[in-house]
Each structure stands twice: as C-alpha cells, then as structure tokens.
Amino acid sequence: MGTGLSGKTAIITGGCRGIGKAIVERLANEGAKVFALDYIIPKTDEVFIEDSNIKELVKSIQVDVTQDNSVNSAVQEVMKETGRIDILVNNAGITRDNLLMRMSESEWDSVIGTNLKGAFLCTKAVSRIMMNQRNGRIVNIGSIVGSIGNAGQVNYSSSKAGMIGMTKSLAKELGSRNILVNLVAPGYVITPMTEKLTEEQKQYYLQNIPLKRGALPKDIANAVWFFVSEDSNYITGQVLHVDGGLAI
C-alpha cells in the first residue's frame, strides 16, 4: 500500500460499485481515508471492500446526490470524523437511454438531476471547506459522449457535456485558492451498467476502439489518481479522455 495520500480525506460519489468502487480502492491504497457516498450502500453482511489492508480506511454513507439536505448531511458526517476534505470525485451517474421522440420528461429529469445537479450540489458542499483549507482536488467523471454525443442518449450526453462546462468554470473560480478541478471522460468501460448493452452495441464499440478492448474500472481509477496526486499540481480545467482512442 502506498502513502501518497496519507492524511488526506476523499469523498467518492457512486462509490460502492463499478468505476466508483475502483476509485475508492485506488485512493485507499494510497493511504487516503475514503468515504464512498452512494444511494444504495452494501448491507452489513455484504463484503464491500475485499482487500483487508484497506478496509479500515473506507466507509460508506447513504446519500441522495439530488437532494441538498442529504448531501450536506453526508459532508458534515465526514467533517465530524476527519475534520477536512481534500478530494471530491463526482462519479455518481445513471442512464435512462431512449430516442428523443420517446424520451419522457422523467427520463430527462432523473439523468440531469443525478449526473449534473448531483455534481453541482456535492461540489458546492465541499468548496467552502476546500477554500478555507486553501487546497483541494475535484475530479468529475464525465464521458466521451459529452464531447462527441450519442444517439439515444440525449439526456446522458447533455449531462456529461454540462460537466465539462462546470469543470472549466470551477477551475477558473477556485484556482486562486489552490483548488484544482479536472474531468476524466471514460469511453466504453466494462461495468454492470454497460453489461445492460446488447451484444450488437458492445461489438460496435469494440470495433471502433483502436485498442480493441473495453476499459476496466481500474483504468479510470488510475487517471483519477493522477489528477489527485502531486504529479498534477499545475493542471486544472482539463478533460482527459480514457477511451482507448474511441473518440479520435
């Protein structure tokens, strides 16, 4: 286990599964105290973190990122336990895919609410803390479809495009307080979410990825690690595609 984040506190939304869980494990392995915020958290008799070396560094908190009170309550719980927040990763996200003509208002609202509003509320909740510390790292998890679009995902693409604008604006707002804000944009990642795709959809992605494989969650977690590590001290407002070349 590394010590690059020893003494640091990190919050990962959507942290109990898929990409979020991989990020939790990566940062905990670097010594951070990590709080996994999720709408559905593991039951007490379920194994959340398998690695016994980092179990004590990880705690899950139930939260609804679309609700201001829920977010603030979770942030207060973290502050009560550690007294600081050094890292926020806005990873919580959902899909409700449909063609525009068939997309319901609720399908639009739920995706924008979780993906974009959720990132806004969580960032707002930790920003004053980070400003007082005069230090912090915020990493938003977007998607390549936020840059290139995707048929049947007008709501999801819009939410991820909004996160790019949010990232760049916040980088300008918070930079003077030494708070760095960047975005990691995954392509096709092998997770429970993408397992819902049809075989035809999966093959489409694989045929168009120069590396001819989907990403693993740890590939995204490694990119997040770069943005929260000391190696990225002079980088803010950037969008990093981790997509095997899919968006070329």
Helix (H, G, I), strand (E, B) or coil at 138: strand
For residue 115, which phi and psi values (nearest 5 degrees)?
Answer: -75, -45
User: Partners of 40 in the beta sheet?
Assistant: none
Q: What share of the chain is helix, strand, coil (3-state, %, to 5)?
A: 45, 15, 35
For 88-108, b/e burial (b = at least 16 CB within 10 A) is: bbbbbbbbbbeeeeebeeebb
Mark whether 156 is an active-site residue: yes
pLDDT tens, the chain, 248 aa long: 788 999 999 999 999 999 999 999 999 999 999 999 999 988 765 668 989 999 999 999 999 999 999 999 999 999 999 999 999 999 999 999 999 999 999 999 999 999 999 999 999 999 999 999 999 999 999 999 999 999 999 999 999 999 999 999 999 999 999 999 999 999 999 988 788 778 888 898 899 999 999 999 999 999 999 999 999 999 999 999 999 999 99
Catalytic residue from among 156, 188, 204, 234 = 156
pTM: 0.96
Helix (H) or strand (E) segment spanning residue 242: strand 239-242
* Domains located in the chain, CATH noted: 9-188+217-242 (3.40.50.720)
